[in-house]
């Protein structure tokens, strides 16, 4: 694992931006894997303000809540519109279909999307319990797209984006761990002291499904982009 530690989240976002810009300038980015959450927002602001043109690039998102329409302001679809796609349209953008309650059909369809669009670079965040995408602790490393019931800690962490905690959806569709590991390159970003224990376990702990992000130790091309606080336990 390559680890870049910047002084602040803003400086770390610039490091992530520079890596993506370099891949774009070398015409090496055809499929970009995207993440939601607060962590990539600084990166997305830099992409929006840049001269990079994504109209020949396909995007695939990690996950989506079950039961929300793409027009729902809490859906990850809507999040991406607001934070990136309005300013930077892509050739095409894919999400697991949160409106379809047939989990097997959604999984099959999204696995086909991923097989047809192999990810060149995947942007990743990390949950405080080490989850990646919505792959909670205990998820098998062999998993592909699947439906998850969110853990109480993830619901609590994501409640800040909703008016009331009981509005947070209880389930989501997510790329699996094997789907994430199939990306040619992974950029995992983590900011703040609350992420420091998960980063320590992911980097220095055993590779175990108990800490989903620890699987990245087995990936040949991972860069962790941290601020000082998130790196404080390394
Ligand atoms: C959610 C998302 C993850 C994200 C995580 C951390 O659970 N599904 O993809 O990494 O939140 O979010 P944040 O960046 O806001 O800390």
Sequence ranges of the domains in the chain: 2-227
pLDDT mean over 152-174:
88
pLDDT mean over 84-95:
98
What is the third-level CATH fold of 2-227?
A: Rossmann fold (3.40.50)
- Give residue 70's pLDDT: 94
CA distances from 176 to 134, 136, 212 (A): 8, 10, 10
Neighbours of 144 (CB within 10 A): 19
Q: Distance between CA atoms of 208 and 188, rounded to whole angstroms?
A: 18
Q: Tell me the β-bridge partners of 63.
A: 174
Question: Tens digits of per-residue pLDDT, 112-138?
Answer: 999 999 999 999 999 999 999 999 999
Cα 157 to ligand 1 centre (Å): 9
pLDDT mean over 219-223:
98
Closest ligand 1 atom to residue 174 Cα is 8
DSSP 150: P
Minimal-distance CA residue to ligand 1 atom 1: 37
Kindly report the pTM of this predicted structure: 0.96
Catalytically active residues are 63, 129, 131, 136
Q: Distance between CA atoms of 47 and 18, rounded to whole angstroms?
A: 10
Pairing of strands 185-190, 222-227: parallel
Q: Which residues line ligand 1 (CB under 6 A)?
A: 35-39, 62-63, 125-127, 133-134, 154, 158
């Amino acid at each position: 694992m390559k680890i870049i530690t910047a002084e602040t989240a803003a400086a770390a976002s610039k490091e992530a931006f520079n890596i993506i810009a370099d891949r774009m300038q070398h015409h090496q980015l055809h499929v970009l894997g995207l993440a939601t959450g607060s962590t990539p927002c600084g990166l997305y602001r830099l992409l929006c303000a840049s001269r990079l043109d994504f109209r020949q690039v396909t995007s695939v998102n990690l996950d989506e809540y079950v039961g929300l329409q793409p027009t729902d302001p809490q859906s990850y679809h809507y999040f991406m519109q607001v934070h990136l796609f309005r300013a930077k349209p892509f050739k095409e953008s894919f999400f697991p279909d949160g409106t379809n309650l047939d989990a097997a059909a959604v999984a099959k369809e999204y696995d086909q999307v991923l097989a047809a669009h192999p990810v060149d670079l995947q942007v990743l965040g990390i949950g405080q319990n080490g989850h990646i995408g919505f792959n909670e602790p205990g998820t098998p490393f062999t998993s592909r797209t699947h439906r998850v019931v969110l853990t109480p800690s993830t619901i609590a962490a994501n409640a800040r984006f909703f008016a009331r905690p009981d509005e947070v959806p209880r389930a989501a569709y997510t790329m699996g761990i094997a789907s994430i590991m199939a990306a040619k390159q992974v950029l995992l970003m983590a900011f703040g002291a609350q992420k420091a224990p998960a980063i320590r376990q992911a980097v220095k702990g055993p590779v175990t499904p108990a800490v989903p992000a620890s699987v990245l130790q087995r990936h040949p091309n991972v860069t962790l982009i941290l601020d000082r606080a998130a790196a404080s336990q390394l």
